[in-house]
């Protein structure tokens, strides 16, 4: 192999190794209630993740911020 083909081969291998096979698609949601309880917020986020992502949906983070329940929900694409 000459230098050019070796460099080209190495570049192709690096691109293939760096290409993800699947990716997570995420979005932030929040609700404004009279008050926010952490366990109700968690249930809300889990329901939203399953509604949006099906069985591949999951909650990346959740929490109460004042009266808002805020979530980051994701699913595999």
- The 10s digit of each residue's pLDDT in 60-74 is 999 998 889 999 999
In this prediction, residue 53 carries a pLDDT of 87
Query: What value does the mean pLDDT of the chain take?
Result: 81
- Which pLDDT tens digit goes with each residue over 36-50? 898 899 999 999 999
- What does the DSSP 8-state code read for residue 56? G
Examine the pLDDT at 76 and tell me if it is beyond 60.
yes
Are 60 and 45 spatial neighbours (Cβ–Cβ below 8 Å)? no
The Cα 34–Cα 38 span in angstroms is: 13
């Amino acid at each position: 192999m000459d230098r050019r083909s070796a460099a080209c081969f190495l570049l192709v291998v690096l691109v293939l190794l760096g290409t993800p096979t699947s990716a997570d698609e995420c979005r932030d949601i929040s609700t404004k209630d009279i008050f926010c309880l952490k366990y109700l917020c968690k249930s809300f986020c889990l329901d939203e993740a399953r509604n949006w992502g099906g069985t591949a949906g999951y909650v990346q983070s959740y929490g109460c911020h004042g009266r808002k329940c805020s979530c980051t929900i994701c699913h595999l694409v």
